[in-house]
Structure 1
Amino acid sequence: MGHIVNQEREYRLLQQRLDKNITGAPYSPVFIQILKLLFVPAEAAIARQIPLRPTSITALSRKTGVPLPELKEKILSMAKKGLVFDFEYKGECHVVLAPVVIGFFEFVFMRTRDNLDMTELAHLFHQYMLEDDKFARDIFQESTQIGRALVREEAIPAGDYSEVLDWEKASQVIQSAKTIGISLCACRHKASHLGQACDAPLRTCLTFGSGAQMMISKGIAELSNVSEAMAVLEQCKQAGLAQIADNVKHTVGYMCNCCGCCCGMFQAVRTFNIQNAIVTSSWVVHTDTAKCTGCGLCVKACPVEAFSLENDSVTGKPKAVCDSELCVGCGVCYSACRRGCIVMEKREQRVMVPENTFDRMVNMAIERGKLSSFLFDDPSRLSHRALGRVASAIEKSAPVKALLAVKPLRSAFLRTLVAGAQKYTK
């Protein structure tokens, strides 16, 4: 009986460890069931001790007491299942515990599996993510998000096209990538096991750079090239899918091709009214009502249901109206419109996007009150525990919250704070 109790404890501790991640993993009996399907007890006991920041296998062996050869075997097993990230750094293997998203949810469903009950997992993830809003509100709270919309370049008027920056162009993200991987869309694959998938293409998820290399090596993605990835992009545009990318300017890690019905980000907007779940592009819909015939194709195409048909005050005929507060600036409606009524115009204020992944994660950590976990994450080290408490107190103080409300000051504050913390996180 004690052995069973200890196993339960390991899974509960693993959930608590995952909840320290920036995107969170709130407790639910359903989530514990998911962990039990994915991690055997011995893996859970190790995983809950893996810091959220990279740690060497050697250091982890000392911390857990698991002999190095045995630990390497277990880490490799978890990495193949997509539960941890492992990589070489300075000739030594390092490991990071994968978050739920973007992390092991995607890695489980981005390929077909014969060693897991995918239908049971699909039902459990659906319950956890969508039967109440707790998980979604944990992920998508505050303003800095994991994903941002890319505008369709062809929807930009010629006079404004020069103002579309490289990191705003799906084509440029693909063409500048050193390595490209292609996988199944995790969201539509999950929906297929529930009998709820739409008829959009499935092999549409693109990953880039070192992340793609890692996923290809573990069989999560297939090695691709620019030509094939551009063909996938065109296929997805023709299918009415929106392009959602990693919310960074440099070294973009992924690009999803998303439908409004299956995508978890769009479902957060549509189901739970979390309007900022996706960072908008710097463009917004402009409709020429004189050309509009009220056909409703844009209404059907919009993944966030920003369009409606309203009777014109003069003619009394239905016209398409877009709620600019809801519009994510993806441009899917432009392709759907057969009358040439829609173009994308610049928003009054250009959308702020973090420079790189580290900047995005620090922004998210501060906004969500998790900076202490992100910077000082190893609870076995006394210095990290002490500094974590200090950071936690700082980030929750009223003066710091006021400071972070001012974007230019927030940037300077983050640079100073992170630079000062670096020596303690090595």
Structure 2
Amino acid sequence: MGHIVNGEREYRLLQQRLDQNITGAPYSPVFIKILKLLFSPAEATIARQIPLRPTSVAALARKTGLQQEELQQKILIMAEKGLVFDFEYQGQSHVVLAPVVIGFFEFVYMRTRDDLPMGELAQLFEEYMYRDDKFARDVFQENTQLGRALVQEEALPAGDYSEVLDWEKASHVIQSAKTVGLSLCACRHKASHLGKACAAPLKTCLTFNNGADMLIKKGMAEQSSISEAMVLLEQCKQAGLVQIADNVQRSVGFMCNCCGCCCGMIQAIKTFDLRSAVITSNWAAHITADKCTGCGLCVKGCPVDAIGLEVGSTRPIAVCDSSLCLGCGVCYSACKRGCISMNGRKQQVVVPETTFDRMVTMAIERGKLSNFLFDDPSRLSHRALGRIAAVIEKSAPVKAFMAVKPIRSAFLSAIAAGAKKYTER
């Protein structure tokens, strides 16, 4: 670190800390500018010492050398800005450092505000996320992702609808939620500060349960009723938006209503050809060629450009690339001639059961299991165990071992069980 000037040091250390997160935060001078706008030097010093797993403010106070009351106030300020998660558990205040996504990028733009230079941040985020593919490839590498597409239920054949599981239905996700929060779409809000937002509705981001409670408390979401959220869902479908939800089966945390032009996940697919950036539904569009008139409405409606027109014998015909199709059903709604149906995929899509399962799977795939399990750099035991785990998980024999699905499944189950016990201790 000797080559880093003092003014940069805390921000470089914070960037390195954020990069240990499962979704990463690769170095860029642009990213350092973002951090400087969001974190004061004192906040950066505190933030870089917050573990990736929940830690009590009391433990963090001992680690940083600050008085607990003073630290608590600083944590509250950072939480209000959306830079950390803070919550009460068993009578104690806890905190977690927010990743870039899904994290402080969304929390900055989920509401209107005048305490931050929103236009300048929008330009910097745009440059950091899309000037090259480093950030996108960090976030969306491998197979397990943060978000999954939901199929529009009305697009499913009547005979197959009974086969759709509850967690595949947007309606069930909403109707089973204990709390619903409604926020601005962070992606379209950011785009509005760049003068290039589309005409889609802006207040469309839904959060659920504990996450919604936290965002409502911090003023980042407003509480919505189940019926209001269902009305919004129908409005978003009519606007041609695709529903992308938390990639878990139980306790779904969020549902975005995404456009193909502003959404960061969809832009990763279209800009950098990261086709697995959004997990597909268990359905794919099928176009009946002899009914198609080549009007192009489905081409225009598809959020990921999976449909194109090909020259037929007498007229253009719409053709769908099933390997790119999200299985969202937006094209079904766009077609006015009944040419499109949603067919079940031959291979079922694997969706993690819980957030914990998803995080462990993502950590293993990205070679960051050691960061996830042993992420307290102040303890020698954690550093030693972390190094050992890092060597093991990145070795070629282990990667080959993990490629065998039955073994991988058993390994994940064992790791998850062990990690849960470790976390409880």
TM-score range, shorter chain: over 0.9
Counterparts of 1:372 and 1:199, CA distance in 2: 44
> Hey, what does 1:327 align to over in structure 2?
325
> Hey, what does 2:13 align to over in structure 1?
13
Unaligned residue ranges in structure 1 (runs of 5+): none
Counterparts of 1:212 and 1:411, CA distance in 2: 31
Shift of 1:257: 0.3
Query: Helix, strand or coil: the match of 1:86?
Result: strand
Aligned runs of 1:218-233 on 2, under 5 Å? 218-233=218-233
CA displacement 1:218-246 (0-9 Å, x = unmatched): 00011111011111111100100000000
Counterparts of 2:171 and 2:412, CA distance in 1: 31
Query: Helix, strand or coil: the match of 1:158?
Result: coil
> Hey, what does 1:175 align to over in structure 2?
175
Is 1:373–2:371 an aligned residue pair?
Answer: yes
Counterparts of 1:352 and 1:407, CA distance in 2: 12
CA contact (8 A) 1:376 1:424 kept: no
Query: Helix, strand or coil: the match of 1:159?
Result: coil
Query: Helix, strand or coil: the match of 1:201?
Result: coil
Partner AA of 2:395 in structure 1:
S
Counterparts of 1:305 and 1:121, CA distance in 2: 29
Partner AA of 1:410 in structure 2:
R
Shift of 1:27: 0.3
- CA shift in 2, pair 1:194/1:129, >3 Å: same
Counterparts of 2:166 and 2:417, CA distance in 1: 28
Q: TM-score, with normalisation over the residues of structure 1?
A: 0.97
> Hey, what does 1:86 align to over in structure 2?
86
Aligned runs of 1:177-192 on 2, under 5 Å? 177-192=177-192
> Which of residues 391, 394, 412 in structure 1 aligns to 2:392?
394
> Hey, what does 1:417 align to over in structure 2?
415
Partner AA of 1:299 in structure 2:
V
CA contact (8 A) 1:181 1:221 kept: yes
Aligned runs of 1:26-425 on 2, under 5 Å? 26-312=26-312, 315-425=313-423
Counterparts of 2:338 and 2:122, CA distance in 1: 40
CA displacement 1:20-39 (0-9 Å, x = unmatched): 00000000000000000001
Partner AA of 1:258 in structure 2:
C
Shift of 1:400: 2.0
CA contact (8 A) 2:260 2:266 kept: yes
Shift of 1:423: 4.7
Counterparts of 1:255 and 1:422, CA distance in 2: 27
CA contact (8 A) 1:307 1:321 kept: yes
Shift of 1:44: 0.5
Partner AA of 2:20 in structure 1:
K
Shift of 1:424: 4.2
RMSD: 1.2
Query: Helix, strand or coil: the match of 1:21?
Result: coil
Counterparts of 1:409 and 1:227, CA distance in 2: 44
Q: TM-score, with normalisation over the residues of structure 2?
A: 0.98
CA displacement 1:161-203 (0-9 Å, x = unmatched): 0111110000000000011000000000000000000000000
Partner AA of 1:53 in structure 2:
R
Q: When the two structures are aligned, how many residues end up with a matched partner?
A: 422
Counterparts of 2:9 and 2:310, CA distance in 1: 56
Shift of 1:419: 2.6
Shift of 1:408: 2.9
CA displacement 1:379-422 (0-9 Å, x = unmatched): 11122111111211221122321222223321210121233344
CA displacement 1:337-392 (0-9 Å, x = unmatched): 00011110100011000000000000000000000000000011122111111211
- CA shift in 2, pair 1:358/1:421, >3 Å: closer
Counterparts of 1:111 and 1:241, CA distance in 2: 20
Query: Helix, strand or coil: the match of 1:343?
Result: strand
Partner AA of 1:82 in structure 2:
G
Partner AA of 2:352 in structure 1:
P
CA contact (8 A) 1:81 1:108 kept: yes
Partner AA of 2:336 in structure 1:
R
Counterparts of 2:189 and 2:109, CA distance in 1: 6
Counterparts of 1:272 and 1:318, CA distance in 2: 28
Counterparts of 2:78 and 2:405, CA distance in 1: 39
Counterparts of 2:151 and 2:170, CA distance in 1: 8
Identity of aligned pairs, percent? Answer: 75
Counterparts of 1:270 and 1:334, CA distance in 2: 21
Partner AA of 1:355 in structure 2:
E
Partner AA of 1:377 in structure 2:
D
Query: Helix, strand or coil: the match of 1:61?
Result: helix
Counterparts of 2:13 and 2:166, CA distance in 1: 43
Unaligned residue ranges in structure 2 (runs of 5+): none
Query: Helix, strand or coil: the match of 1:358?
Result: helix
Counterparts of 1:316 and 1:182, CA distance in 2: 48
CA displacement 1:2-57 (0-9 Å, x = unmatched): 9x943310011000000000000000000000000001111100000000000000
CA contact (8 A) 2:311 2:317 kept: yes
CA contact (8 A) 2:357 2:416 kept: no
Partner AA of 1:343 in structure 2:
S
CA contact (8 A) 1:384 1:424 kept: no
